[in-house]
Structure 1
Amino acid sequence: MNLQQLEDELWEAADDLRANSKLTAAEYAMPVLGLIFLRHAANRFRAYLPDIEAAIPAKMPAAQREEVIKLGFQGKAAVYLPEAARFERIASLPQDASVGEAIDAAMDAVEAEYPVLQGALPRGYAGFEPELLARLVKIFDRPALQTATGDVFGRIYEYFLNKFAMTGAQEGGEFFTPPSLVRLIVNVIEPDHGIVLDPACGSAGMFVQTGHFIEDARHAQANDTVTFHGQEKSDTNTKLARMNLVVHGLDASNIGQGNTFYDQAEHLIGQCDFVMANPPFNVDGVDTKRITKQLAPQTPDEQAADLGGGPYRLPFGLPGTNAKTGAISNANSLWIQYFYSYLNGSGRAGFVMASSASDAGNKDRDIRAQLVRTGHVDVMVAIGPKFFYTRSLPCTLWFFDKGKPADLQDQVLMVDARSIYHVVSTRSHVFTEEQLANLTTITWLYRGEHAKFTALVARYQQQVAHWLAELPARLRADTRTLRQLALKLQRFARYTNVNTELLPPLPAEPPPTPAQQAELAQRRTALQATLDAWKADLAQALADTSATQTLAALQAQAAQARAAIAAANLATHAGQTALQTTLEALAPALKAAGKTLEARHKRALALLDAADKMWRARTGSKASKAWHGAALRQLRRALQPADAKKSEDPTVRDRVLEAPKQAAYFIAQVHWLHSRFPHGTFENVPGLCKAVTVEDIEANDWSLTPGRYVGVAAAQDDGDEDAFAAQLREIHEELAELNDKAVALAARITGNLEGLLG
């Protein structure tokens, strides 16, 4: 499901609540999130259920069968749902049933199965108007939400925070980190064992993505390899985190409530294998007196006098304080030290931080200097704006590695990813799967993990082979559709007669007047001219073989490229480089094929539209063998794009365009990597990445802002026309949005003036 579709579905539910409920936003927020929990739990339950049921004998008694299903969900990344808690059962209740009581019973049933959720799931659904609640259930049972995957729970939570301005909504990013950033953090630190801590865990998105990583990359279950520890200051948010973990089949027993500034979880200091977090940015007002006990001795005298009062979470000192209040003026440096201190001797950390923290001066700079001198700052990644749904600010990802090899101790990898993104809308950017992989590859090469780079390039080139193999069948289906349309249009041309099909004869009685006869003759002449011109266009289109020749040539080139891929040694960088030369020679033909296909679709649809216009305007015979309306509508549909908002399946047109586009896309991904790292080893790439020394950082006033080091990128042709088109589309959409706001503002000013002037 795309973002816009998700928002449309949810806003309809929100609008219903705003218009028809007696409850306030604060009162209905948790019940709605409870419905989302049941919906998401049902999605994951259904994803695993078929395989579990397939192993159960068909004649097993129902009660015993349910127990076997329950056992089958142990160790799965999903929650077992008792019959009473399955969303489809609630959605199918008759109108006279008490839906509110049924949902309360569903929550009871889930908590009975999972004691860790005791008190976390909302109740009180009987407080909703029955008809409104029934409508909400139906909205959340629509196909778009039935098929939603990923961390939709956290994403939807953020949506409701933003739309209804609940308590804490102004801190949007505090509770939900965009999946793109979470995945990049996970890819870089690779949390696959031991203790994983998030001391600002929000709705537990970091842990959910860690579970996905362990399952996908390590082919194991997270509960078998890691222990999650999370802390949140709000009781509501700890409930949300537990709900999110349980729905993904993850252990939620170590999610606790506490203000991390003051509740320091001493038993975890120096013990964590991985720390991941998205803390609230630029917090002020932290009570200095309450955190001084966390401060490690700074001077030799203090260190000599220290009698083992640690463990300490602030090894590098306190940041600046507000001169008037004495409170910490900005807590960013507190968080940074916390994340560092929780790590054990070989631990890794990855976290999101305000961009300003990389350059902050005074005491923050001194803290940063000490941190860099440890040799444990691993990677810094600058992220552009619009990744946070509720924020447009850029940010920086920080990475620590206390187990960094000796040859990298004096270096920090700087990555400027501000120009890398995919446009979802004017207010939302994400990383594509390939952008995430390519950014992660930079860290692999920096660490000397060249085999991973080679494996990724091989995967991309194998994807090219896959899409080239798809091309012939999809082209045949497209050509077959166009031929069927051509036959229908030829039939229309053959049997359509202006006198019998398009115009009625004048009645014999009363005799037509000369003026009527003249008018009919004039119409007949005009219609005949239109029909003749259309027939000429049809004949010209049928005789034009240029598209057929272009596509035939493409198929021949594609077959040669597939043979080259099959023969290439994809296990070596040299073999991949040689193959890429062949594939890049094919790329222009793939892009041209897309334009050719779209042009012939456009031409065919224009002929169909013109014929349809003549037929709809007819005043003659209402029945004719010249026009097959239902078949023509079906053919038109096949040659048009599917409507994503309606969750329509891809059409013939979509499928045939997808094959060359995807093949060209994966060729471009290898080009992106090879053009920057031509030898398959790490290199400093202007505008993208640079390994800088501690001396370099000291010379730059201990700044950890990547843009200060990587320089400006040389102009490169990555062949990504889609990215350019997306940027143009984003600019156009933003301009349209500003224009709309300007019109609304002008109308408001006019109204105010009229009111003032009477």
Structure 2
Amino acid sequence: MAQMTSQTLYQALWNSADILRSKMDASEYKNYLLGLIFYKYLSDRMVVYASDQLEEKTTDLDKAQQIYTDAYNDKDLHDDLISNVSDEFGYHIQPDLTFTALIDKIDHGTFQLEDLSQSFRDIEQSSEFFSGLFEDVDLYSRKLGATPQKQNQVISDVMKQISTLDLVGQNTNDILGDAYEYLIGQFASDSGKNAGEFYTPQSVSRLITQIAMHGKEDVRGFTIYDPTMGSGSLLLNARRYSNERLSINYFGQELNTSTYNLARMNMILHGVPINNQHLHNADTLDQDWPIEEPTNFDAVVMNPPYSAHWQPSKGTENDPRFVSYGLAPKSKADFAFLLHGYYHLKDTGVMCIVLPHGVLFRGGAEGRIRKALLENGAIDTVIGLPANIFFNTSIPTTVTVLKKSRTTRDVLFIDASKEFEKAKNQNHLTDDNIQKILETCINRKDVDKYAHLASFDEIKENDFNLNIPRYVDTTEPEKPVDVVKVVADIKKNDEEIARLSSELAKNFDDLVANNDEAAKQLTALKELFKNE
């Protein structure tokens, strides 16, 4: 099978969704397409690996399938083959249930959904690591068709569509992983407000990751934590900026089970070793996690749901995450997420969190938490992002950077609200925009109408209000008015009006009324323009 270019692969993956688009919205059909692509990847790489281990290296899936089938059915080779494959991947698929075998059944009209369902179950039951991975792919949903035959046909059509894709012949996991990431991004664009549950735009992810990892690109065993990880895209960006990428350990928690499964698939498709994945399906604010070593991380990155409601349980005020700063109000969990992430940050670490601007100036419990953080020097930088940059909201947001063990309590303010490129449906940060923000963060110096390094005393004078316009003045001075010119222009205009009125009045002399009423109106008009 010929290797595809990245763009060709991206487009082919996206086109595969055409069969499902008319049947359900993107938030639903993404589960089918992403699940089936992931299953093909697991199947193809296992079959190709098996043929390679049998010393018959080939990337031809039909040939590899035959080699695997023959060895599987050979009593002398069967046990060693299964042991080898299972040790390598943590699962194995029966020869008659591989993706290639099922495509052959489709071609011969013998395919049944139960074959695919059985293969899913076999993978999920191979180990705890794969447990529940395909539970969101409902092969028997009536949205696929009103009858089992129609459901069978739709899934067959989607499988045929993706059967031509080369998912194991790519040079690196990055090509396929980035293609999968592209697909998730396209689903996010189509999903509208639902997209915020699983995806952070790549430009924002790159900005946050570079800030969090600055100066630590060579750290071996780097740990990064996202307590609201969505599809895992924010976590996986660490691979782009680390020189020790294979040693990165990823820690993530996600409440939504479907999104959690998507993150697991995303990690595997990016080639992240099983031992480097530490993912958890639970409510971040309900019970603390992780609670076993390691519990503090080199970087914490977050894009939590904005101003979500939460319900602190009895005794939460004594929770180590919140006890030093207090509880966020029930109507707005923004600071609860922030304090959770900050609690899990190493003393030498950097945390970046995306939040609505309200956290910068709201009073009450939030004002008290903000004051305490500022007094402890926890807030390092506040960056105002452009409006309409996220899929789930058009409001402008802020990236707040936090650190521990700082020797100063100043805060750098950056107004990057105008740093964007307008796209079809939303704005996005360009590479130049990201670089400008990053360099300003590093230099920590005033930039006219863009950035200001505020002292603690200055912040205290503002009653600990961090609203960016208080510190960065982006207004442009009005141009001075030339009064003499304005008066001259008015006089010139008056003279022109008088001239035109006089000419118009003369023209009225040529008009003749054809009745008494018209004569009255004509006389009135002549008098009016004589006065003018």
Query: What is the TM-score normalised by the length of structure 1?
Result: 0.48
Say whether residues 1:177 and 2:200 are aligned partners: yes
The whole-number CA distance in structure 2 between the counterparts of 1:394 and 1:267 is 34
* Aligned residues of 2:347 and 2:403 also touching (Cα < 8 A): no
* Aligned residues of 1:314 and 1:341 also touching (Cα < 8 A): no
Per the TM alignment, residue 71 of structure 1 is displaced from its structure 2 partner at its CA by 9.9
Say whether residues 1:696 and 2:461 are aligned partners: no
One of 440, 443, 448 as aligned partner of 1:445: 443
Correspondence for 1:209: 237
Correspondence for 1:283: 308
The whole-number CA distance in structure 1 between the counterparts of 2:176 and 2:157 is 23
Q: 3-state SS of the aligned residue for 2:116?
A: helix
Q: 3-state SS of the aligned residue for 2:401?
A: strand
The whole-number CA distance in structure 2 between the counterparts of 1:262 and 1:349 is 21
The whole-number CA distance in structure 2 between the counterparts of 1:294 and 1:241 is 29
Read off the aligned partner of 1:257 and give its amino acid letter.
N
* Aligned residues of 2:299 and 2:351 also touching (Cα < 8 A): yes
Aligned residues: 430
Counterparts in 2 of 1:90 and 1:57: CA distance versus 1, 3 Å? closer
Per the TM alignment, residue 382 of structure 1 is displaced from its structure 2 partner at its CA by 1.4
Say whether residues 1:120 and 2:143 are aligned partners: no
Per the TM alignment, residue 281 of structure 1 is displaced from its structure 2 partner at its CA by 0.5
One of 261, 271, 277 as aligned partner of 2:296: 271
Q: How does 1:94-493 map to 2 (within 5 A)?
A: 94-98=107-111, 100-108=113-121, 110-111=123-124, 115-122=128-135, 125=139, 129-140=151-162, 151=178, 153=180, 156-157=183-184, 160=187, 170-190=193-213, 193-210=221-238, 212-213=239-240, 217-221=242-246, 224-226=247-249, 228-250=250-272, 251=274, 254-265=278-289, 267=291, 271-284=296-309, 286-288=310-312, 290=313, 293-296=315-318, 311-320=320-329, 328-404=330-406, 406=407, 409-425=408-424, 427-446=425-444
Structure 1 unaligned regions, length at least 5: 19-23, 297-309, 321-327, 447-682, 716-758
Q: 3-state SS of the aligned residue for 1:17?
A: coil
The whole-number CA distance in structure 1 between the counterparts of 2:351 and 2:211 is 9
* Aligned residues of 1:413 and 1:692 also touching (Cα < 8 A): yes
The whole-number CA distance in structure 1 between the counterparts of 2:196 and 2:27 is 19
Q: How does 1:499-538 map to 2 (within 5 A)?
A: none
* Aligned residues of 1:41 and 1:247 also touching (Cα < 8 A): no
Say whether residues 1:15 and 2:21 are aligned partners: yes
Comparing 132-141 and 386-395, the one that deviates more: 132-141
Q: 3-state SS of the aligned residue for 1:701?
A: coil
Deviations along 1:68-93, one digit per CA (max 9) or x if unpaired, are 9969978xxxx999977876665565
Structure 2 unaligned regions, length at least 5: 1-6, 59-63, 72-76, 141-147, 478-532
Higher RCO (C-alpha 8 Å, min separation 6): 1
* Aligned residues of 1:158 and 1:175 also touching (Cα < 8 A): no
Q: How does 1:562-573 map to 2 (within 5 A)?
A: none
Read off the aligned partner of 1:373 and give its amino acid letter.
E
Query: What is the TM-score normalised by the length of structure 2?
Result: 0.66
The whole-number CA distance in structure 2 between the counterparts of 1:316 and 1:156 is 40
Deviations along 1:522-566, one digit per CA (max 9) or x if unpaired, are xxxxxxxxxxxxxxxxxxxxxxxxxxxxxxxxxxxxxxxxxxxxx
* Aligned residues of 1:314 and 1:337 also touching (Cα < 8 A): no
The whole-number CA distance in structure 1 between the counterparts of 2:324 and 2:350 is 17
* Aligned residues of 2:17 and 2:33 also touching (Cα < 8 A): no
Counterparts in 2 of 1:15 and 1:419: CA distance versus 1, 3 Å? same
Per the TM alignment, residue 195 of structure 1 is displaced from its structure 2 partner at its CA by 4.2
Q: How does 1:551-590 map to 2 (within 5 A)?
A: none
* Aligned residues of 1:84 and 1:105 also touching (Cα < 8 A): no
* Aligned residues of 1:380 and 1:705 also touching (Cα < 8 A): no
* Aligned residues of 1:315 and 1:341 also touching (Cα < 8 A): no
Per the TM alignment, residue 374 of structure 1 is displaced from its structure 2 partner at its CA by 1.2
* Aligned residues of 1:104 and 1:124 also touching (Cα < 8 A): no
Counterparts in 2 of 1:367 and 1:4: CA distance versus 1, 3 Å? same
Q: How does 1:637-676 map to 2 (within 5 A)?
A: none
* Aligned residues of 1:266 and 1:311 also touching (Cα < 8 A): no
* Aligned residues of 1:697 and 1:703 also touching (Cα < 8 A): yes
Q: 3-state SS of the aligned residue for 1:710?
A: coil
The whole-number CA distance in structure 2 between the counterparts of 1:66 and 1:442 is 56
Read off the aligned partner of 2:316 and give its amino acid letter.
Q
Per the TM alignment, residue 368 of structure 1 is displaced from its structure 2 partner at its CA by 0.8
Q: CA RMSD in A?
A: 4.5
Q: 3-state SS of the aligned residue for 1:242?
A: helix
Counterparts in 2 of 1:397 and 1:144: CA distance versus 1, 3 Å? farther
Correspondence for 1:34: 35
* Aligned residues of 2:205 and 2:237 also touching (Cα < 8 A): yes
Per the TM alignment, residue 353 of structure 1 is displaced from its structure 2 partner at its CA by 0.9
Q: 3-state SS of the aligned residue for 2:23?
A: helix
Per the TM alignment, residue 339 of structure 1 is displaced from its structure 2 partner at its CA by 1.6
Q: Percent identity?
A: 19
Counterparts in 2 of 1:336 and 1:350: CA distance versus 1, 3 Å? same
The whole-number CA distance in structure 2 between the counterparts of 1:69 and 1:270 is 34
Q: How does 1:606-617 map to 2 (within 5 A)?
A: none
Per the TM alignment, residue 244 of structure 1 is displaced from its structure 2 partner at its CA by 2.2
